[in-house]
Amino acid sequence: MDAKGRQTLFTVLTVLLCLAVLAAGVVLSVGYYSQGKNLRAVDMKKYAKVEMEDEVYTVSVDADAIVKDHHLPNPKNTTLDLSRYPDVETVYSLTFLVTPREEGGWLIQTGSDRATAAADLRKGGLKLVNTEWIWTEQDMKNAYRVGLEYPRKLSMKKYVLCGKNSMGGYVLTVDHERLLRATGWDLPADEAARKAHTGYKAVLSLGYYVTPLMEGFLVETSSTLENVYAMLLDNGVRLTDTTWVYTLAEVAELYDEQHPPAPEPTALPEAPADPTWEASASQDSHGFLTSLHGVDQTPIRTAIREAKVQQYGNRLKSSEVAAAWFITAKVDEAAHRNCFRLAYTITTSGGKEYLVADVFDLVADVRPTASDVRLVKKGSIDEAVRTDDFGPAQYTVRGLTDGAMVYAEDNGASPFNGNGLLFPDSLTERITDADVWRLAVPADKTLLQLLGFGRNEIFARCGNRFPDSSVYTKFYSNYPWYQPKGSVSFETIKKKYPVAAENIEFLKAMEQLIKEG
């Protein structure tokens, strides 16, 4: 074969070899793509965002993080036509189905309401992995803590409770309990140790200072503590949205959301008879109170609150009850038959003050007014919490810690009925002030703790699953009616049982009346 023939043969072989390599490449590529090996894996377990509300965990997809990590256009900051990006729409459609397991923990499954979700993600070069797993209680708690920002930013605008006063005006208060849960702190169970926690004290000191405007309200976050923001930051929390303006329409909408209309009656679980104990006001032959047995304290505490408002006006930013007493006379020569006293730490626009409020000579069935309240400023908190002006020879001084009531007639009766309920009709009937103040308070609980049970028994009856370590899990598990199904939110209760949701807010307001006065 001459040189020209050899060159032709070489050229043909080279072409055939290139075609063979190309064909092999096509085959490998088809196999590679058909198996999805070209796709970027989205580890769904990594993007599980755990939050907690009313001691209930919720798991949601952190779609923003997926978009950022995989360099997709973010619908929150782009002008692109996202209908051209079905992968992005699919990412924001992803959800987690959380199913409680009988043996404990939860099954977490990834889902989407888009029938073409997998195909749409594939168009964007994505595939989901770790779409299903099991979390124990500790796993869920760890995921919740890992997801917390540091410092955690909490918007004060999110924790507003909107109510109305006796004149029909709007009243804005801080939902301290929700705010405490949002911090993620592991507070001690012991009440004294909890009160020693600087973050706990800082949260309870918070309030709102509301200034009426022409078309709404200026809302400013206030505190009875001078260094409250530093205390919170030391505990890993930073408050945001501490000042804002509400329009009248926004406040009215907020009130309507938190106070929906009453639902139709709903059947409740049958229960053995309630305790036969009934509170009745203890008084002497002249009608003066000798204890707070069965006495509705709301009018007394409300009269003191109104007297404070009258004295301070717009200068009053917040107040915190430092101590409370009910004082009764031992002898007829005493100057007063009885006295209801509260000591306060007051924060005004001019600084911090200390105040003592007295209501003397309470008579059964007579409601005191602001004019019946004596207010006395003190130079320090130590002076404010002294009761040595009531000599032990003439008076008996009883402390009212955490809403404690002074009576001995209950003889240790339990406030819970046979089903472990404080307010058996609370799903459909409104709880009243009288219902609260006639509760028998056992030796192992304070009134504030009972009010916590009153709120959470509503969640329990709606099938809410509390954490295994929760005091409510241990208590309600003793009753056959408690059948936990999963997470039940306040919004879910409000839609099904509006009166129950109103009762939850009412009990929170009663707790605030006791703690802030």
Q: Quick one: pLDDT at residue 31? A: 42
* pTM as predicted: 0.48
Higher pLDDT, 18 or 41: 41
Which residue do the tokens 């001078």 mark?
226
Going by C-alpha positions, the residue among 442, 422, 399, 404 that lies closest to residue 507 is 422
Element (H, E) at 475: helix 471-476
Q: What is the pLDDT of residues 306-338, one digit of tens each?
A: 888 888 888 888 888 888 888 999 888 899 999
Residue 354 is predicted with a pLDDT of 92
Contacts of 226 (CB under 8 A, 6+ apart): 352
DSSP codes, 219-279: EEEEESSTTHHHHHHHTTEEEE--EEEEEHHHHHHHHHHHSPPP---------PPPPS---
Q: How confident is the model at residue 209 (pLDDT cuts 50, 70, 90)?
A: very high
Collapsed DSSP state (helix, strand, coil) of residue 407: coil
CA atoms 31, 33, 39, 41: torsion sign: negative
The tokens for 50 are 């755990």
- The Cα–Cα gap between 325 and 488 comes to 39
Both structure tokens of 65 = 């993080």
Q: Answer for the pair 499, 430: CB distance below 8 angstroms, yes or no.
A: yes
Q: What whole-number distance in Å separates Cα of residue 487 and Cα of residue 55?
A: 9
Q: Work out the mean pLDDT of the chain and round it to a whole number.
A: 82
CA 50 from chain centre, in angstroms, equals: 15
**Domain limits, the chain:** 40-146, 152-258, 262-277+410-517, 298-402
Q: What is the pLDDT of residue 202?
A: 93
What top-level class would CATH report for the domain 298-402? alpha beta
Which band of pLDDT confidence, cut at 50, 70 and 90, is reported for residue 394?
Answer: very high
pLDDT of 94 above 70: yes
| Residue scoring higher pLDDT (192 or 223) | 223
What digits encode the pLDDT tens for the residues 396-433? Answer: 888 876 666 554 344 457 888 888 999 999 999 999 88
